[in-house]
Structure 1
């Protein structure tokens, strides 16, 4: 189930409904959704990738990004989450060790198992927020 424009506002409406029902901050629900979508994306793209998801609080648009950290060539261990200074020069002006290269990646088409996993993450975060209030 890819996130289409028709579903984007529905994400925010769902977050607000859950937040109202549980009397918690809607931002916490959206953060849980972001985390669950990132986990689902990692299951599709590969666990070794640093995938992050950001949901626009006004439009509901989910942006999927891959973050790679600039490292010294001899320290490069994970090609999916790191790149050398020399490689980073293709994307960044004057890259230095520790800089991050962030690129947008296509949203994932979540299968049934990934969707169930996402739901579990959201429920867990909501329960934690309920306990903390």
Structure 2
């Protein structure tokens, strides 16, 4: 069973625009990844990950605009909660992507378990949020 857009937005805590932004960047990243793995592109891994980092930057910019608008409307509690959640959703995947790029470029000698740890933490936070939303 597939989830509706409303359910996904409620569980993940992102707007439809933010989801669209990440889906488009994931599509471009997938194309660049396939070209890199097939040997068509001879660039660094940092270049392949540029769409994902760009979407993180745009997501942060969009979140700051939402925070400022909610503050101007006087809804401080909602602004704080949404900003904290957006920070978690931005920082953990960004850390994972940064560590993965460094590993692929042989710039660090971390194990893959340590590189995947931000993803595991994010999954636990999403699980807690899904339980809160479900009630």
TM-score (norm 1): 0.27
TM-score (norm 2): 0.27
| Larger RCO (CA within 8 A; separation ≥ 6) | 1
Judging by fraction of residues, say which structure has more helix.
2
